[in-house]
Structure 1
């Protein structure tokens, strides 16, 4: 009780509000987070929060900033490919600590300065490694949300499918190749799809992309020449 009382006596700050919001979303889920529930958690009236965040949209943007701030830097003196891989996997570890974060990042129409700075640093890692501005432009498009540690998945299969269910038998008949792929899974607790190993699939795709980027870099690839070849 003393700790709770002391916390409520601690003056509010923007940082304290945002970190409390992140902790609350971790506990109750992002859908249950509101200015009112956050105020209750902090032991203040809701209006007190508006001195630090103007509305819930700004609150969510600030929460993303907190998550981005948890992303560690790569080891010094490593090559660009290793540095990028380390940074992206650090971002993934940060997001895995906050299961709601990817949804909020996707929902942001305008990135905050903190997010912009992170994106700028990612681009800088490619440029410092010797990739051209042209190639880096396309690299960032190819990586997409992976720079934040998550990717949009093709399959969202139902879990714990019972092979004896009629619906499953019908799917096997109608979509034999999909079901053949689905039966080759190995992790029942995956968030990607029933049976997929999330971390393995993420790193598999990331490594394919990085290997491809490196190959294009060594070939001196440019989008101008590629477009000309298609004409």
Structure 2
């Protein structure tokens, strides 16, 4: 049976889970599929194009229809879906972070977030900016989360910083203890809630600030 593009992506995902992003090469992928390298290049002109397709497959489902709940809860759902999708694959966050090609699943997920934000009262340009900010929060948090999974079980930030000749304040020490000891999901939810609460506050104060000329947001500048 001829090699299909979807088969290549699925095998790339399998290798990604088994060996990690740094070990995923076109040569290994071809060997795993038992095909010559040229067969892969009929579907993907280079590794970057392959990773674009892999990244888009990873985020499949993020933009699925949302339940009929409040817009803050819908944003929480989209953000949590994205985090779960990235965590579902080894180095998933790094793969998605390294691509920018808008595949179908990527577009659907972004469109879903923008629609929710527009229903919340944001102009489309604002909604685009905010959705990008939330996307990169989720991406950054998940990259860090997956990096921490590679640390040894007895990892202690105090041991790692002993040779830096830097005096650490008690406040910073307490902050690092919290960051390294807390449940990653709890940290994630806390950060996402800050975004959502900030948006709620923006919606409350924006009319007053715009009237005073204090706010100029994309698509909603003073006088728009």
With the length of structure 2 as denominator, give the TM-score of the two structures.
0.77
Using CA pairs under 8 Å that are at least 6 residues apart, name the structure with larger relative contact order, 1 or 2: 2
Once the two structures are superposed, residues 28-52 of structure 1 have per-residue CA deviations (whole angstroms, 9 ceiling, x without a partner) of 1111111111111112111111111
- Residue 116 of structure 1 aligns to a residue in which SS? helix
Does the alignment pair 1:76 with 2:64? no
Q: Which residue of 2 aligns with 1:200?
A: 186
Separation (CA, whole Å) in 2 of partners of 1:99 and 1:81: 29
TM-score (norm 1): 0.74
Partner of 2:134: 143
The answer to whether residue 165 in structure 2 is matched with residue 179 in structure 1 is no
3-state DSSP of counterpart to 1:69 = coil
In structure 2, distance between residues paired with 1:166 and 1:110: 38
- Cα deviation code 1:194-213 (max 9, x no counterpart): 32421111110101111221
Give a deviation string over 1:69-104, Cα, whole Å, max 9, x none. 143635432222111111110111111111312112
Return 5+ residue gaps in structure 1 as ranges: 1-9, 186-192
Q: Select the residue among 11, 15, 31 that pairs with 1:24.
A: 15
Q: Is the 8 A contact 2:97 2:139 kept in 1?
A: no
After TM superposition, the structure 1 = structure 2 runs for residues 104-123 of structure 1, keeping only pairs within 5 Å, are 104-123=95-114
Query: Is 1:59 matched up with 2:50?
Result: yes
State the aligned residue count: 208
Write the distance in 1 (CA, Å) between the matches of 2:112 and 2:159: 52
Q: In structure 2, the residue corresponding to 1:82 is in which secondary structure? A: helix
**How far off its partner does 1:143 sit?**
1.8
Quickly say closer, same or farther: Cα 1:65–1:166, change in 2 above 3 A.
closer
Change (3 A) 1:223 1:133: farther
Answering whether residue 162 of structure 2 is matched by residue 167 of structure 1, we say yes
Distance 1:74 1:213, change over 3 A: farther
Q: Give the drift of 1:25.
A: 0.3
2:222 alignment partner in structure 1: none
SS at match of 2:90: coil
Alpha-carbon displacement from aligned partner over 1:43-69 (angstroms, at most 9, x marks no partner): 211111111111101000000110111
Task: Output the aligned Cα RMSD.
Answer: 3.2
Distance 1:46 1:130, change over 3 A: same
Find out whether 1:102 has 2:93 as its counterpart: yes
Are 2:128 and 1:128 equivalent residues in the alignment?
Answer: no
